[in-house]
Structure 1
Amino acid sequence: MKYLLLFLSLTATFGVVLAQNSFPAVTTETIHGETVNVPGAFEGSFVLIGVGTGKKAEDDLKTWQVPIYNKFIAKTGLMDGLYDVKVCFLPLFTGAMKMAKNQVVQKLQENNEKLVLDHVYVYSGEREPFIDFGIEDKKQPYFYLLNPKGEIVWKGVGAFKQSYFDRMEEILSQ
């Protein structure tokens, strides 16, 4: 009986650790209305996923746009061409915010650069997959770097910091 309890305890703990290493699989929509499964659509590549959880996170989220665009989309830096990283900006529309989705998408189209828009995947649905994953604070954005197997290899929260990119470069260079 002791061994059974120990086994069940270890199995449950191992399952929690594995669950936290995988980004929640969700169905999203591009700005153009195409359905995309995130993170499954990026399997086989590194992907940086930025999750916007609420209006209050918008300012911090914007601090990431230019650095991410320059490094992973336009690849303007000397060594940036070495990194094959897909980019996914993922605004969440849950609860009462689901009704504002279309207005926000229209605002994104009016205010953002066309090149960044191609990397926006809108989620409209239940909040539970993200709460269970640890995304709770609507005042800040969350960023995750997933390896080609879909495992989380780096996490950042809040406004952009150069140290975040330094750590990502270390991971990508291995």
Structure 2
Amino acid sequence: MVINSKIFIYSLDKTTYMKTSLLLAYLTFTLNVFAQESNTIGSIFPDMEAEDLSDNTYMLPDDVKGKYSIIGLAYNKKSADKIPEWIVPVYQKFIAEPQGLQIGYDVNVHFVYMFSGMTIALKDVAKAKMASEMDEVLKPHTLFETGNLKSYQKILDMMDRKDTPYFFILDPEGKILWATRGTCKESKINKLASYIDEGM
């Protein structure tokens, strides 16, 4: 039986309509919350070779083992353009020297810019631009990667949204404790911190 949704909705009395609307809003919110959870949680972060602004090779997760780590990945211009909105909150919370009653965190933090296909030719240009314009305190936290992007997209559950950065919190052994994507929010920063606080 085919139901005309407009006739169905308008045939409901006001109370039932409101209840239905609230239920749909709740389900939408719930689905959005679940959508933030990643299938990678509980797995080991995949081997990733990157380089810093001085062309030194960096191996993830091996070179970050021993401490909790926050890894941010951006693999196209749109997602890279959104990394800066994460940098200040992440820097203030996890990198800057603590002030007052603020808790100090001893964690690895890396923002990784990924290049593939035709964009690999732009990597050196991007590196040179960042090296000349970036604040010195952020340079040690910036990496560049040119590996098999499709493989990382699949392994790290980064297929759904290509216009947003992805962030992962790793335990000292390189296991992914939590992952998120999209706009930086205070709740996400606090969630990252909560996993570190639990292990301190």
Alignment TM-score > 0.5, same fold: yes
Which string of whole-angstrom CA distances, capped at 9 and with x for unpartnered residues, describes residues 49-87 of structure 1?
Answer: 000111111332111111111121113453331x22110
User: Residue in 2 aligned with 1:34?
Assistant: 56
Matched, 1:79 2:102: yes
> Mapping of 1:10-25 within 5 angstroms?
21-25=43-47
> Mapping of 1:44-123 within 5 angstroms?
44-77=66-99, 78-81=101-104, 83-123=105-145
User: Residue in 1 aligned with 2:5?
Assistant: none
Q: What is the TM-score normalised by the length of structure 2?
A: 0.73
State the distance in 2 between where 1:18 and 1:163 align.
Answer: 20
User: Residue in 1 aligned with 2:14?
Assistant: none
- Which of 1 and 2 has greater Rg? 2
Q: What is the TM-score normalised by the length of structure 1?
A: 0.83
Please say if residues 49 and 143 of structure 1, whose CA atoms lie closer than 8 Å, have aligned partners that are also in contact: yes
List runs of 5+ in structure 2 lacking aligned partners: 1-38
State the distance in 2 between where 1:164 and 1:138 align.
Answer: 19
> Mapping of 1:124-135 within 5 angstroms?
124-133=146-155, 134-135=157-158
Q: How much identity, in percent, do the aligned residues show?
A: 28
Please say if residues 49 and 145 of structure 2, whose CA atoms lie closer than 8 Å, have aligned partners that are also in contact: yes
State the distance in 2 between where 1:18 and 1:166 align.
Answer: 20
State the distance in 2 between where 1:150 and 1:71 align.
Answer: 21
Please say if residues 69 and 75 of structure 1, whose CA atoms lie closer than 8 Å, have aligned partners that are also in contact: no
Structure with the higher strand share, 1 or 2: 1
Matched, 1:171 2:195: yes
List runs of 5+ in structure 1 lacking aligned partners: 1-16
Please say if residues 41 and 178 of structure 2, whose CA atoms lie closer than 8 Å, have aligned partners that are also in contact: no
